[in-house]
Amino acid sequence: MSPRKLFLWGATLVCVVLSRLSSPRAQLTTPSSVVMPAQGTASAAAEHQRLGDEFLASRKFDQAIAEFKKALMIDANLPEAHDGLGVALVGKGDIAGAVREFQEEVRLGPGDAKAKSNLGLALLRTGNTKAAVEALRAATEVEPSSPLDHYRLGLALASDQQLTPAVAEFRMALDLRPDYPEALDDLGVTLASLGKFDKAIEQFRRALQIRPNYAEARDNLGLAYLSKGDSIGAAGRVSRGAPSEG
């Protein structure tokens, strides 16, 4: 049975808007063919970029898109404008458009792990799991210490039915960030998909210890008990929503 028919797997793929990380951007490599804009036009592009960022932070996606496009009309080689435009397009539900912007951002900054990661997640939203795996694996190669990128790669591998490699990526994410409830939940779902219900239950319980009101993990915990034939345990876990055995 497909895990998607039973468990709540990778809920991030349904509702997430790609996040712009608060940490400083990776150093970008400007292609030698790029002509840098004059100071005046660069300032104008930066102002449109700033306004776009402000609108994006307020989830005013239409206004953000307009500002990022103005910045790119001045300088088409601004990676941060392609990034912001891609995120805003995801917010509007235009995933194909977002993919194009993230692809351009990756072209301009091939060493930027965040661009590769956002591209991979956007590709996953389109259902192109193999391309998503490729992009997200490239992100982890650039930034191997990122728990988010290993988690996203795990989601892509699981969606591509590469369950054992997905388990390894979720575990890597948890090695880097032990208090990662989403990684614990999706690790549990993947283990359950492999028929390892006791190990799955352990992951769901750990997720609930970190986030007691985590509805998906609580429901998945109950489903895992049902899958191993423990209907009484399932009813208790779903109704109480508590990770304790008592």
Instruction: Give the chain as a DSSP string.
Output: --GGGTS---THHHHPPPPPPSSPPPPP---TTPPPPPHHHHHHHHHHHHHHHHHHHTT-HHHHHHHHHHHHHH-TT-HHHHHHHHHHHHHTT-HHHHHHHHHHHHHH-TT-HHHHHHHHHHHHHHT-HHHHHHHHHHHHHH-TT-HHHHHHHHHHHHHTT-HHHHHHHHHHHHHH-S--HHHHHHHHHHHHHTT-HHHHHHHHHHHHHH-TT-HHHHHHHHHHHHHTT-HHHHHHHHHH------
pLDDT at site 18: 45
pLDDT at site 227: 86
Task: Show pLDDT as tens, one digit a residue, over the chain (246 residues).
Answer: 333 334 444 433 333 334 443 222 232 233 333 444 555 677 899 999 999 999 999 999 999 999 999 999 999 999 999 999 999 999 999 999 999 999 999 999 999 999 999 999 999 999 999 999 999 999 999 999 999 999 999 999 999 999 999 999 999 999 999 999 999 999 999 999 999 999 999 999 999 999 999 999 999 999 999 988 755 554 555 545 444 443
pLDDT at site 39: 53
pLDDT at site 106: 96
Taking the CA of residue 84 as centre, how many other CA atoms within 13 Å lie in the half-sphere pointing to its CB? 31
Structure tokens at 80: 């941060």
pLDDT at site 228: 81
pLDDT at site 233: 54
CATH T-level assignment (fold) for domain 178-246? 1.25.40
